Structure 1
Amino acid sequence: MADLLKKNDLHGYQEYSVNFIIEHPVAAVLLDCGLGKTVTSLTAINDLMFDYFDIHRVLVICPLRVGNVWANEIQHWEHLHLLRYSVAVGSESERLSALKTQADIYIINRENVQWLIEKSGVSFDFDMVVVDELSSFKNYQSKRFKALMKARPKVKRMVGLTGTPSSNGLMDLFAEFKLLDMGARLGRFIGQYRNAYFSPDKRNGQIIYNYKPLPNAEQQIYDKISDITISMKSTDHLKMPEMISTKYEVELSDSEKKKYEELKKDLILQLPDGEITAANAASLTGKLSQMANGAVYSDDESILEIHQRKLDALEDIIESANGKPVLVAYWFRHDLERIRKRFDVRAIKTAKDIADWNNGRIPVALIHPASAGHGLNLQAGGNHLVWFGLTWSLELYQQTNARLWRQGQTAETVVIQHIVAKATVDEHIMKALAQKNTTQLALMDAVRAELEEI
């Protein structure tokens, strides 16, 4: 155990967070990427279990890939060596076997929360629940949220961890904090919450598509939740490398622009009565994003190529890296296929891929934000991330950037490059990300802007 990290290796802000969890049976721990949410929570669990004798059985709910991160942290810290853990993933029989194993901590992925509570037959006798990435419970209508709310009254201690609690606006906070305090602070019902802090914004007759915060609502909400919430940003507590964010703009030729505009017009004309709703705005901007990246799926699922401008730009970027590793974020399946066809690349999917990247064995790696947003430590492998295709999701965008821009990055700078097709929806997405405005309203405004150009 000589090479294990010791409890006195914890940073001061981590010790503060540990004490906060111990002193607050309900705690929202909003620690930014790289601040060590996992070891902080495990230390609090360890102390509550073996020093205070306050808990005996803990459930950790986390993204599927992050389950191993919790297990690894227990193994890396000397003061956590007494904690017995069981990872309940895999087939139903494997999950049941793991849940019946004698352990202190049971780790399950969020997709199986409903199964655990409603179908597994296993007694829900956890006296502490930790939700890693509380933001994945922001939908109060989701099955996982409803299932966990059924079991919530049985739980003595509840901890929510995330770095991005309201990535799509203040409305997200309702479900997250109801899960923590059963509605004590922001109300038990969404209507209550809306009426108290929001007013209708975009609407069509009686149908309201969007709500906007009332004046001072943000501060009022924060005041309501402040007694159970701790929030820290990585730039406040860590010596972070400088992050350089740049745009690599590409311009379509006249014929490519014409093809983009024709396809855009066809899509717009398919709207019923020209009405822009949240649902069709999302569909439209998805198609426009595909076209900005250079290709789109036709009705028969074949790929219709529009241009290769972004592929050319990526070639320039890779060449200018002079052999240094480059991590490329893609969004659509045809992005992946077209990049693979042109370059010698490898997608980051398995533990071996992660290890090989961190050991410098992959010159150009591909990553999808939805599968790499949380828990992947890739900072040892490089300091250059290229966004080939952009995402509206601020949470996935920030979390993907944080795979490289985080504690442990040895380079003095991390370069985030965005390949942006001029005069396309890319420009709207970049603006929304810069303003941290990735709500449905931003999607709809983007489509309206495209409509005005026709």
Structure 2
Amino acid sequence: DLWGPQYFIDFGDRLGHSFGAYQDRWFDVNVYAHTCEPKPGAQEEITELLSECTISVEVDCDKPVHMPVYFDLPYRARKEYISMENTLYAELGEDIAVEAMTAAAASAKCLQMANGAVYTDDKKNWAETHDAKLVELEWILDELGNQPVMVSYWFVHDFVRLMKRFPHARVLKTKQDEDDWNGGKIPLLLIHPQSAGHGLNLQDGGCVIVFFSQTWNTEYREQVIERIGPVRQMQSGHPRPVLVYDILARNTVDECVQERYYENLTVQTALKRATRWRK
């Protein structure tokens, strides 16, 4: 994240003349485990090197208002979730079985099951496990009345189930969708963080976002919020608070993701802490 922008400032004088050199000097990279951890003292060294050419600006705007909404998984869905979490295997009904080959894959399955559905094979077939999170979203929308709302989803089955439950919703795909949202023509806008995270101006259409799905990628989350964030609201002449709802299944990986985001933990630390706490 730092090397690219800095290279255009000093052409590699401070952080190295290639991204590989930057990684080799300050990070331990494991290509097999897909991990990249800073070496001891790396943060201090990089901060010192950048101190003479970098400034940090604190924006004088209110922060988004975080509104966590918790619910308990239904009994059967809870049993299926615990089975996946503990054994990397779960039986959904009489004829559907879901298996994860690794702990990381099980974590992804658990994230899906917290939402209410899970992929059952590598062909993206899926099965529904509960609708409790959809019910919570309905309550949020009822509470907000006629206020326009953005809903962030992650998995394909999330999108399918959301469209089935809320057929009046629109998915953000085109410039026309963006214009219609900003013009007040879309009461419920579905967005995917990977496609709606950068370069879009959505602040004129509303100031409420609901995260139906959680994601370990904190940058995606921050960028999506920024599309309607406080700075953009103020710049566009909208003196109104930004509301960020998170629909969270209690005692699931949903809470791990939130902990990682708000406490800046690594994925591994958040998962280990949550598992230890539940035991």
User: What's the TM-score, normalizing by structure 1?
Assistant: 0.52
Give a deviation string over 1:107-141, Cα, whole Å, max 9, x none.
Answer: xxxxxxxxxxxxxxxxxxxxxxxxxxxxxxxxxxx
Q: What is the Cα deviation at residue 208 of structure 1?
A: 9.6
Aligned 8 A contact 1:241 1:409 in 2: no
Cα gap change, 1:311 to 1:322, in 2 (>3 Å):
same
1:46-195 alignment runs, 5 A limit: 172-178=1-7, 181-188=10-17, 193=22
Match of 2:213 in 1: 389
**RMSD, aligned CA:** 2.9
User: Which residue of the other structure, out of 359, 367, 376, is the alignment partner of 2:191?
Assistant: 367
* CA shift in 2, pair 1:426/1:409, >3 Å: farther
CA, structure 1 residues 291+179, in 2 after alignment: closer, same or farther (shift >3 Å)? farther
Deviation at 1:443, TM superposition (A): 2.4
Which residue of the partner structure matches residue 310 of structure 1? Answer: 133
Between the aligned residues of both structures, percent identity stands at 35
Counterpart CA distance in 2 for 1:254 and 1:358 is 41
Partner of 1:319: 142
Q: 2:156 aligns with which of 330, 333, 340?
A: 333
Q: How many residues align?
A: 262
The answer to whether the Cα contact below 8 Å between 1:245 and 1:417 also exists between their aligned partners in 2 is yes
Q: Which residue of 2 aligns with 1:255?
A: 76
Please give the alpha-carbon distance, in whole angstroms, between the structure 1 residues aligned to 2:114 and 2:34.
Answer: 30
Report the Cα distance in structure 1 between the residues aligned to 2:37 and 2:125, rounded to whole angstroms. Answer: 39
**Counterpart residue identity of residue 330, structure 1:** Y
- Closer/same/farther in 2, CA of residues 175 and 303 from structure 1, 3 Å limit: same
Query: How far 1:177 sits from its partner (Å)?
Result: 3.2
2:117 alignment partner, one of 292, 295, 302: 295
Letter in 2 for 1:250: F
**Separation in structure 1 between the aligned mates of residue 65 and residue 197 of structure 2, nearest angstrom:** 20
The structure-2 alpha-carbon separation of the partners of 1:431 and 1:342, relative to structure 1 and needing over 3 Å to count, comes to: same
What whole-Å deviation, never above 9, does each CA across 1:234-285 have from its counterpart, x for those lacking one? x24xxx355211100011122220011123344278557xxx6xxxx2x333
User: What residue in structure 1 maps to residue 106 of structure 2?
Assistant: 284
Does residue 264 of structure 1 match 2:85? yes
SS of 2:64's equivalent in the other structure is: strand
CA offsets 1:143-177 (integer angstroms, 9 cap, x no match): xxxxxxxxxxxxxxxxxxxxxxxxxxxxx424553
CA distance in 1 between counterparts of 2:177 and 2:184 reads 11
- The answer to whether the aligner puts 1:224 opposite 2:49 as a matched pair is yes
Give the letter aligned to residue 242 of structure 2: V
Change (3 A) 1:255 1:242: same
- Relative to 1, partners in 2 of residues 1:341 and 1:375: Cα closer, same or farther, differing over 3 Å? same
> SS of the counterpart of 1:382?
coil
Amino acid at match of 2:150: L
Q: CA deviation at 1:226?
A: 3.6
Q: Cα distance, 1:219 vs. partner? A: 3.7
For residue 178 of structure 1, report the CA deviation from its aligned partner: 4.2
Q: Residue by residue, what CA displacement relative to the aligned partner does 1:55-102 show, whole Å, maximum 9, x if unpaired?
A: xxxxxxxxxxxxxxxxxxxxxxxxxxxxxxxxxxxxxxxxxxxxxxxx
Q: For the residues of structure 1 that align with 2:119 and 2:245, how far apart are their CA atoms?
A: 26
Query: Secondary structure, in 3 states, of the residue corresponding to 2:47?
Result: helix
Question: Which structure would you say has the larger RCO, counting Cα contacts within 8 Å and 6 or more residues apart?
Answer: 2
What displacement does 1:225 show?
A: 2.5
Shift of 1:403: 1.1
Query: 3-state SS of the aligned residue for 1:252?
Result: coil
Q: Which amino acid aligns with 2:71?
A: V
Structure 1 residues without counterparts, runs of 5 or longer: 1-171
The aligned amino acid for 2:13 is A
- Unaligned segments of structure 2, at least 5 residues: 90-98
Output the CA distance in 2 between the equivalents of 1:264 and 1:219.
37
1:418 matched residue in structure 2: 246
SS in structure 2 at match of 1:229: coil
Partner Cα distance (1:418, 1:336) in 2: 16
Q: Which amino acid aligns with 1:229?
A: T
1:223 offset after TM fit, Å? 2.7
Distance between the aligned counterparts of 1:388 and 1:366, measured in 2?
10
